[in-house]
Amino acid sequence: MFVDIAKIHLKAGDGGNGAVSFRREKYVSAGGPDGGDGGRGGDIVFVADDNLSTLADFRYKRKYFADNGEKGGASRCTGKSAKNLVISVPRGTLVKDAETGRLIADISLDEPVVIAKGGNGGWGNMHFSNATRQVPRFAKAGNPGEELDVTLELKLLADVGLIGFPNVGKSTLVSVVSEAKPKIANYHFTTLTPVLGVVRMGEGSSFVMADIPGLIEGAGEGIGLGHEFLRHVERCRLLLHVIDVSGSEGRDPIEDFNTINNELKVFSEELSERKQIIVGNKCDLTDDDKVAELKAYFEEKGYTFFPIMAPINEGTDELINFVASELAKLPEIKIYEPDPVPLVEIPRETNKRTFTLDVVDGVYIIDNAPWLLKILETVDPEDYESLQYFQRTLQQSGIIKALVDAGVQDGDLVSVYDMEFEFVP
């Protein structure tokens, strides 16, 4: 099954917590703090894989989590950083932020692209020692890794796109000029998925041709198969517009041409202006005067017209040679640049210091704050300086203000996960 759009959830690894440790060694008095830093969380990295042609794998697995960094150790030992999680996608996949639609990356080149960054490891207590605080009994929690939903959208990388109504001979053409073997039959929508074929022009010279499933009137607005696959034409440097010169389907070839171009314009103004070569197929089913009339019509409008009979490979060599010469004059396949990050970007939920505050039987309960839970793991409630560090965190995160706004009084009980303390203004 051809799948070219998928939505998945990504969570980069959290950084490891810093360690609280003190040097204890024979004949060394007051060795001081030596807790090491936590390791870095793993990134989530996307790479292009030419062995993949669809996004079907992402229909079955939709959540991806990188490993967390390890906690720091004694003797100033830094925790082990986690390995990156590498996700392979077909070449030509666009990665977009599912929430905002912002283009994060175009996975079309060979270089790996980091989509979600792992969190940095927290500092060990060796960083918090100074002249007035020589025995710090706290360390810093690791930073959370980035977490986001992304939409994957595959836009095939092809030099030439075949467009036209169903049953005009696009699949036959790509089968005789390339190594592709699409299904060919005498009914509409035989081709249900885009087909790529490599056209070889000799040693070291080739280009990729894409057979796009048949378009119909209204395709640009979502009717039929065309709207679903028009995105795969967007990267094509050159379009071959195949028409049935014989009108064997009971349609007028000029009317077909105009209809398809209108649909391209509805879908994308830029796409409608892409260079086109007109390919008149099924010349064996009509007379020479009709072919000459169509050739004169399109050439008068500035198009190059090639009459062919695809099933017997008549006229295709001239067409392909001309296509190759035109491609040499055109820019390379378009690679999309990531959208700039807005100056004021909405922070992701995991990076917000969010929490909930409920009052139950006179007890003020702080909950739904996973970031605070990580800090609690590094706090020593028996150590005054460690508690000062915790208090500053509550102040900076807005929890103290929220308690005051909720009416907390001196001596009221506050519960933060498994820690309870009396409020002191």
Q: What are the extents of the domains in the chain?
A: 1-155, 160-327, 352-422
> How much is the mean pLDDT over the chain?
85
Residue 226: per-residue pLDDT: 47
Give the DSSP letter of residue 68. P
Helix count and strand count (H, E) for the chain: 9, 18
* List of E strands, 13-90: 44-49, 63-65, 85-90
Q: What pLDDT is recorded for position 183?
A: 55
What residue type is assigned to position 292 of the chain? Answer: A
| pLDDT tens readout for residues 384-398 | 777 787 888 898 889
Q: What angle do CA 128, 134, 140 make, to 5 degrees?
A: 25
Range 163-173 average pLDDT: 87
DSSP 320-384: HHHHHHHHTTSPPPP-PPPPPPPSSPPPPGGGS---EEEEETTEEEEES-HHHHHHHTT--TT-H
Regarding predicted confidence, which is higher, 288 or 263?
288
Indicate whether 153 pLDDT > 60: yes
Q: Please report the pLDDT score of residue 222 as a whole number.
A: 47
| HSE-CB of 156 using CA atoms within 13 angstroms | 27
Q: Cα angle vertex 182, ends 205, 312, to 5°?
A: 75
What's the pLDDT score for residue 49? 94
Burial class (CB in 10 A: 0-12, 13-18, 19+), 283: buried
Give the pLDDT confidence score for residue 27 in this predicted structure. Answer: 64
Q: Encode pLDDT of 237-254 as tens digits.
A: 999 999 999 988 888 999
| pLDDT of residue 347 exceeding 50 | no
Cβ-count burial of 111 within 10 angstroms (0-12 exposed, 13-18 middle, 19+ buried)?
Answer: exposed
For residues 398-412, average pLDDT: 91
Q: Enter the CATH code of domain 160-327.
A: 3.40.50.300
Beta-ladder partners of 306:
279
Ramachandran region, residue 300 (left: φ > 0; alpha: ψ -120 to 50; beta: rest): alpha
Return the sign of the alpha-carbon dihedral for residues 55, 215, 225, 6. Answer: positive
The residue with tokens 């050739």 is: 295
- 92-100: average pLDDT: 94
Asked whether the beta carbons of 281 and 314 are under 8 A apart, the reply is: no
- Residue 212: its pLDDT value, please? 77
Q: Is 392 helix (H, G, I), strand (E, B) or coil?
A: helix
Stronger pLDDT, 406 or 226, i.e. the higher one: 406
The DSSP call for residue 130 is: -
Amino acid at residue number 273: E
What is the average pLDDT across 180-208? 69
Question: Looking at per-residue confidence, does 220 or 31 come out higher?
Answer: 31
**pLDDT score of 417:** 80
**Low-confidence winner among 106-115, 370-379, 391-400 (lowest mean pLDDT):** 370-379
Residue with the bigger pLDDT between 157 and 314: it is 314
Per-residue pLDDT for 93 more than 50?
yes
Nearest Cα neighbor of 257 from 192, 313, 312, 303 is 303
Query: For residues 362, 367, 372 and 377, what is the CA-based torsion angle, rounded to 10 degrees?
Result: 80
Residue 320 predicted with pLDDT over 60: yes
> Residue 7: how many CB atoms within 10 A of its CB?
13
What does the pLDDT read at residue 134?
75
Q: What is the pLDDT of residue 346?
A: 43
pLDDT of residue 349: 47
In this predicted model, which residue has the larger pLDDT, 214 or 140?
Answer: 140
Centre a 10 Å sphere on the Cβ of residue 425 and count the other Cβ atoms it contains.
9
Is the per-residue pLDDT at 344 higher than 70?
no
Those residues with Cβ within 8 angstroms of residue 186's Cβ, 6 or more apart along the chain or in another chain: 167
Domain 1-155: give its CATH superfamily: GTP1/OBG domain (2.70.210.12)
Query: What is the value of pTM for the model shown?
Result: 0.72
* Domain 1-155 shares a fold with domain 160-327: no
User: What is the rounded distance in angstroms from the CA atom of residue 10 to the CA atom of residue 50?
Assistant: 23
pLDDT confidence bin for 65, thresholds 50/70/90: very high
Domain 352-422, CATH class in plain words: alpha beta
Q: Which of 192-201, 273-282, 330-339, 347-356 has the lowest mean pLDDT?
A: 347-356
